Amino acid sequence: MLNIGSLVLGLIAWILPIVSLMKYKKQTHQNWAILSIISISACAISLGLQIFDSYHLVKLEDWSALMDTMGAVAIIAAVLLFVTILLNILNLIIYHRKSTN
């Protein structure tokens, strides 16, 4: 269940800034900052769920499962964090330019 929750929250972390970027020409979109905060929060919770899943495997002493999955989990966590930060910085730049014009 933790992996499914992590996946869903990771997708939310990417979808929210993409939706915000798609709507920036259509309206003033005053709530872009709230969407960015929710996006970063979803990313943080997603990473936290992955940590709890690894902790669960350690408590069970399921070392083979832990060794099999940690490489992929580390890479995917880094990609999730990098893309989420990149999308939210892009949102910040676009809306900052729009507000100064």
CA distance readout (Å), 14 to 6, 9, 26, 43, 101:
12, 9, 20, 8, 27
pLDDT, tens digit, 9 for 90 and up, residues 19-77? 988 887 776 667 888 999 999 999 999 999 999 999 999 999 999 999 999 999 999 99
Q: Which domain holds residue 39?
A: 2-100
Q: What per-residue confidence (pLDDT) applies to 3?
A: 87
For residues 27 and 57, is the Cβ–Cβ distance under 8 A? no
What's residue 89's pLDDT?
96
80/94 Cα distance (integer angstroms): 21
Cα separation, 47 vs 78, in Å, equals 9
Domain count, the chain: 1
